[in-house]
Amino acid sequence: MPKKRNNIKPRAPKKKLTPGQIAADITTKWVGSWTFIIGLLILMAIWIYFNTLMIINKWDPYPFILLNFVLSTLAAIQAPVILMSQNRVTERDRVRQEYDYKINRKAEREITEIQEQLNRIEKRLK
């Protein structure tokens, strides 16, 4: 007589995201794009170009200390935000792995049941 089976559905529980988590995901998606990288390179080239051409009122002369400050601040803000988003991805992966493990265990039990049934059938046929 077959046993009643529990159905395991591989769905991660839906959690309401905090505004910080949403911001981290959006920032990571934007900062990790080629559009952002190319745009930043163009902005830096324009900054350097105009600062080297201006004879009077250079707002950031040659060693470009202000540009370095802006880029350092950008990196200091982006790094933790990207890490927060990566932690969320890791947590989602962990939940998926737990569901995969449960499904694999269930499949193993079902295969064992089928093997036992086949053994019983084989004994009856002998």
pLDDT tens for the chain, 126 residues: list them: 455 555 655 555 567 888 888 888 888 888 888 999 999 999 989 888 888 888 677 778 878 888 899 999 999 988 888 888 888 889 889 999 999 999 999 999 999 999 999 999 999 997
How confident is the model over 67-93, as pLDDT tens digits? 899 999 999 988 888 888 888 889 889
Of all residues in the chain, the percent with pLDDT exceeding 90 is 37
Output the pTM of the full model: 0.57
CA–CA gap between residue 38 and residue 59 (Å, rounded): 24
Q: How far is CA 107 from CA 60, 93, 95, 100, 104, in A?
A: 66, 21, 18, 10, 5
